[in-house]
A = this chain, B = another copy of it.
Amino acid sequence: MRFDLFLVPGPVKENRLADRAVVIIDVLRASTTMCQALQAGARAILPFAESGEAAEMRIKIGLESTLLCGERNGLKIENFDLGNSPSEFTPERVRDKIIIMTTSNGTRAYAGIDRSSLIITGALVNMSRVTRAVADSGRDVAIMCAGRLGQFSIEDTLCGGLLIHRLLTETGRRADLNDAASLALLLYRSNSRALKETIAQGEHGRYLRELGFADDVALAAGVDTIPVLPVLKDKRIINNDVE
């Protein structure tokens, strides 16, 4: 079994990802928000890199059935319906809606991954579901951390380290780890008793808290609090339990 972790999005040779279980992690906040949106009954999430593409798709699908959501530099994009706070995605707002979403880091990672792969949205809030799905698939694993502005972010790497730790512990299998996967495992094991504090004190955590999003940071640091399994099918992220 191979575990390759990527600390930042970047040029990944396609053959390293074909037929893999690919877990895309953006703890602050896109992955966490997607879990919340699906838990609250959203029908699907369509991830886009650019806000222009997202707005065009909204017109194409129709205003009534969709919500346009996303942020830049942490703040809601002008004229969008919602930003990127999990707490905005209540059942009243999102049930049966299609969420069209564009964020600074997380939504970009979905483009260009080989279709043969099983593509899962991973966060701390749904880590047990992700672990089980990856283990059950029997596939080699690729963990794509969204990072922040092209640089490593501690919360995504911690989350990737937790996933590797659990896969190794729960499956009891041996695995080949790339350097970044070993690093993530070391980071997780060194901070496993202080996940919330480490994330809150990290650069991205501090930035979001300064913007007034302390509740989002605390929510995103909760392990297994939103037990859904978002998977990408036909360019849509859907709740695997519903389909």
Q: A interface vs B, CB < 8 Å?
A: 6-8, 10-11, 149-154, 157, 178-180, 182-183, 186-187, 190, 202-203
Q: What copy number does this chain have within its complex?
A: 2
> Which residues of chain B have C-beta atoms less than 8 A from A153's C-beta?
179
| Cross-chain contact of A10 among B8, B186, B203 (Cβ < 8 A) | B8
| Known contacts A186-B190, A187-B186, A190-B186: A8-B179 contact under CB 8 Å | no
Distance in angstroms between the alpha carbons of A10 and B105 in the assembled complex: 14
| Known contacts A10-B150, A151-B10, A152-B7: A203-B178 contact under CB 8 Å | yes
> Which residues of chain B have C-beta atoms less than 8 A from A187's C-beta?
183, 186
> Which residues of chain B have C-beta atoms less than 8 A from A182's C-beta?
154
Q: A152-B152, A154-B179, A183-B183 are in contact. List 5 more A-B contacts (CB 8 A).
A: A8-B151, A154-B183, A157-B183, A179-B202, A179-B203
Q: Judging by beta carbons under 8 Å apart, are B10 and A7 in contact?
A: no
A140 to chain B, nearest CB (A): 16
Distance in angstroms between the alpha carbons of A221 and B180 in the assembled complex: 19
Closest 9 CB pairs between A and B? A10-B150, A154-B179, A7-B152, A179-B203, A152-B180, A179-B202, A11-B150, A186-B190, A10-B151
Distance in angstroms between the alpha carbons of A149 and B16 in the assembled complex: 14
Closest B residue to A12 by CB, please name it: B151
A223 to chain B, nearest CB (A): 20
> Which residues of chain B have C-beta atoms less than 8 A from A178's C-beta?
203
Closest B residue to A186 by CB, please name it: B190
Can you list 20 pairs linking A and B with CB atoms under 8 Å apart?
Answer: A7-B8, A7-B151, A7-B152, A8-B8, A8-B150, A8-B152, A10-B151, A151-B180, A152-B152, A152-B179, A152-B183, A154-B182, A154-B183, A178-B203, A179-B202, A179-B203, A183-B183, A183-B187, A186-B190, A190-B190
Closest B residue to A203 by CB, please name it: B179
Distance in angstroms between the alpha carbons of A122 and B11 in the assembled complex: 26
A105 to chain B, nearest CB (A): 12
> Which residues of chain B have C-beta atoms less than 8 A from A179's C-beta?
152-154, 202-203
| Cross-chain contact of A151 among B6, B149, B186 (Cβ < 8 A) | B6
